Amino acid sequence: MKKNILVVLLATLLAATGCANAQKQRKASAASEPEAAAATLPKVYFFKEISSDNLVKIYEALGREAKGKVAVKLSTGEPGGHNFLQPSLIKALVQKVNGTIVECNTAYGGGRADTKSHLKASADHGFTAIAPVVIMDAEGEAELPVEGGKHLKFDIVGKDFLNYDFTIILSHFKGHAMGGFGGAIKNMSIGIASSNGKAWIHSAGKTRVPAEAWKNLPEQDDFLESMAEAAKAVADHCGDRILYISVANNLSVDCDCDASPEEPRMGDIGILASLDPVALDRACTDLVRSSEDPGKVHLIERIDSRHGMHTLDHAEALGMGSQKYELVTLD
């Protein structure tokens, strides 16, 4: 009898110990879940101070070296405009990676609609003084497949884009008359698209003829989704041979493609960088919204009135990146 009682007590003790250990393991697992989730979030690096040195430092913080023949995609600015990233700011970074500044001709006319005029604008704005400038659709275009697109089955890019080993998407974050805001996704979609490719995106795949695009404008969300789809084609083409840096300064509601942009009504935010373009664009818009600057209402109105955040929703749905991120402040 005593032996049976001892056996029962021992079994009970072992069971209790097992339950306690299991509870501890569950608690430890639950506690580690937020840490594990944070570890998997894309990092967005951030400098409040905008300087040439910090632009280089934030590139280095990404831990992905630009190797081989490097394309630096930025906007050299429409003649008459003045908010574009200044050559003095970007010079150290572009020269560090031995980069070539790349652009494609516009689809709306203006002072950059043909290669000769575009190169002149680049020279007038000081870009040819710091690095070679190449208009990628000067000698034709190429198609990149779009995986999972609703509107586009392919993207049309400047032919010369295929000749680069690595791409830096160096964007001036600001407002945009059609997209609500211009950041990494806009820069890598419409920016790398040839003149015909720009028409293709703006018309959501209806036409590749620039003169016809403005007569075939789609529903707003279809245009925004087409931008995301074109960006995905570029991202897929590059794989891990691409990175993204955005400078949030001169925060006009208008883009650098505007010859007479509205003056900025809020102060500069800083430099941001990521290996995830969706996270980067989301972080830029989040910092605008969380700013204490009362002038932010104008840029927020521009973003929201164009349903601009839908671009990121679609890009995320396509698997381009995440709107959840970890912000890492470097200063």
Average pLDDT, the chain: 91
Q: Specify whether the CB–CB gap between 275 and 283 falls below 8 A.
A: no
pLDDT number for residue 13: 40
pLDDT number for residue 7: 37
Residue 95 has pLDDT above 50, yes or no: yes
Q: Which of 87, 98, 97 is nearest to 121 (CA)?
A: 87
Q: Average pLDDT in the 232-243 region?
A: 98
Confidence band (pLDDT; 50, 70, 90) for 109?
A: confident
Residue 285 has pLDDT above 80, yes or no: yes
Residues whose CB is less than 8 angstroms from the CB of residue 47 and which lie 6 or more positions away in sequence, other chains included: 54, 57, 58, 270, 271, 272, 329, 330, 331
Q: Specify whether the CB–CB gap between 68 and 37 falls below 8 A.
A: no
DSSP state of 146: -
Tell if the pTM clears 0.85, that is, is over it.
yes
For residue 176, the surrounding DSSP H or E stretch is strand 174-176
pLDDT digits (tens, 9 = 90+) for 242-279: 999 999 999 999 999 999 999 999 999 999 999 999 99
Alpha-carbon distance of 244 to 258, in angstroms, equals 23
Q: Specify whether the CB–CB gap between 177 and 270 falls below 8 A.
A: no
The tokens describing 252, both together, are: 């006009």
Q: Specify whether the CB–CB gap between 278 and 305 falls below 8 A.
A: no
Cβ neighbourhood burial of 147 (10 Å; 0-12, 13-18, 19+): exposed
pLDDT digits (tens, 9 = 90+) for 292-301: 999 999 999 9
The Cβ of residue 289 has, within 10 Å, a number of other Cβ atoms equal to 12
* Alpha helices, DSSP H, located in 41-140: 52-61, 87-96, 115-124
Q: Average pLDDT in the 132-141 region?
A: 98
Alpha-carbon distance of 265 to 296, in angstroms, equals 7
DSSP 253-281: SS-TT-SSPPPP-S---EEEEES-HHHHH
Task: Return the minimum-mean-pLDDT range out of 37-41, 212-216, 318-322.
Answer: 37-41
The Cα-based distances of 148 to 233, 236, 269 in angstroms read 10, 12, 34
Residue 45 has pLDDT above 90, yes or no: yes
pLDDT number for residue 16: 46
pLDDT number for residue 241: 98
pLDDT number for residue 36: 55
pLDDT number for residue 11: 42
Q: Average pLDDT in the 74-82 region?
A: 95
pLDDT number for residue 35: 54
pLDDT number for residue 122: 97
DSSP state of 105: -
Task: Return the minimum-mean-pLDDT range out of 11-15, 51-55, 187-191.
Answer: 11-15
pLDDT number for residue 39: 74
